[in-house]
Amino acid sequence: MTGSAGRRSPALLRGWTGDLRAGAMAFHALRAALAAGGREVSLDWLIACSGEAFAVAWSERLSACDLQAARPLATTAAAAHLAGVGFETAWADAPDAALAALRRHTARGGLALAPCFDDRRVGVAAAVDADGRVLAVGPDRLAPAWVDLRGGWRGSFPGGALARPNVYALLHEPTAAERRAADLRPAAAAMLRGAAGRGVVFGPPAVRAAARVLGRAGALRDADMLARLLCLAEQAEFGFGCAERWLSQPARAAELPNAAELARRARMVRAAAGELAERLWDRRGQASAAALARAVPGRKSMVFALPPPLADADVPGPVLRLPRGRAVVVETRSRRAAAVRLAEVTANAVAGFAAAVDRAGVDGADVGG
């Protein structure tokens, strides 16, 4: 994507806060790139109308990182197309080849997306120097800074191929006017009714499958399984929250026949999924050992984030290590049963939203992908 000389300046790029509960970073990166090119768009609009808001996926075979890319629709490309921007993905076995392509594109004033930060999080690349360093912004990288990618990287974009080596997406000048879709129903229906494949299920069946896993004694002692469950719950909380806000805007009432009902049902999913995410990673005791001692008996959560100085031997259960930090698993039969019930409430809320979409009908409106 290029624009006037001023719009091509890396100084116009701004990163964003890398909130773990803020969905896939590719959409934050796309919005940052659009803003640097002079296109201010709503993150809620990008996520809701591309279908990413309804990304509810589950698999016991894929990693949590891959679950963030497993989608029935190419949602990242759809978001770019909605904004009227060309989106070209590619990858290379050797990092030198990918860096050369990025160097050519950015030298012409273009911007690119790449999962070049920790845990495959996506950032925006504005330049590549002769030594293979990339000038980029990204999660918690608010101003452009150089990132050494000579050793290569790996990742994916939501709705694209699962993890590839040295993958990137070039953003191009639009070939058509920006399309501001007002109807999220086609994308929502496709995402929530997506056919299972590659060991992945979508929509309400995904949440019900996760509920069955939660019902297994000791399931949360597996760090990879906990990461998958967190991916599902946090993505549903964030995505349906974006849909709720977009559907609640006054203009939606005139554009969608049941916008108010859809907003209400999105709110139900957001609230239930958010509570489930809290039960799976409770931060209330993270401030100190004393705070943890108060939080564990006083809350229903099964996993509590640990204060950094606290030793593993000083906590009341097995300790897990995830990229986000350490946590202790506090599992009892009653806590496990309560978590399963909450997951079932979440599944029913997702099913209720999908049924509301079906009742309104899907007219096949263009959602950009």
What is the tens place of the pLDDT at every residue in 226-257?
Answer: 999 999 999 999 999 999 999 999 999 888 88
Residue 23's domain is classified under what CATH number?
3.90.70.10
Residue 119: which pLDDT band, with cuts at 50, 70 and 90?
confident
177, part of any domain: no
Same domain, 205 and 323: yes
**Average pLDDT value over all residues in the chain:** 90
Query: Is the pLDDT score of 207 beyond 50?
Result: yes
Per-residue pLDDT tens over the stretch 30-54:
999 999 988 889 999 999 999 999 9
Average of per-residue pLDDT across 175-194: 77
Mark whether 141 and 190 lie in a shared domain: no
Residues 305 and 354 in one domain: yes
Q: What is the DSSP string of 223-269?
A: HHHHHHHHHHHHHHHHHHHHHHHHHTSHHHHHH-TTHHHHHHHHHHH
Q: Are residues 78 and 205 in the same domain?
A: no
Tell me: do 135 and 205 sit in the same domain. no
Q: Are residues 241 and 315 in the same domain?
A: yes
Is pLDDT above 80 for 343? yes
Task: Let me know if residue 296 belongs to a domain.
Answer: yes
Cα–Cα distance for residue pair 356/366, rounded to 1 Å:
20
| Burial of 229 (C-beta count, 10 Å sphere; 0-12/13-18/19+) | buried
Q: Is 218 exposed, middle or buried (0-12, 13-18, 19+ CB in 10 A)?
A: exposed
Q: Are residues 138 and 247 in the same domain?
A: no
Of 124, 143, 172, the domain-final residue: 172
Element (H, E) at 183: none
226 and 343 share one domain:
yes
State whether 136 and 191 are in the same domain. no
**Residues spanned by the domain of 133:** 10-172
* Tokens representing residue 142 in the block: 């608010």
State whether 56 and 81 are in the same domain.
yes
Q: Is residue 367 part of a domain?
A: no
Cα separations in angstroms, 130 against 49, 97, 357? 39, 13, 51
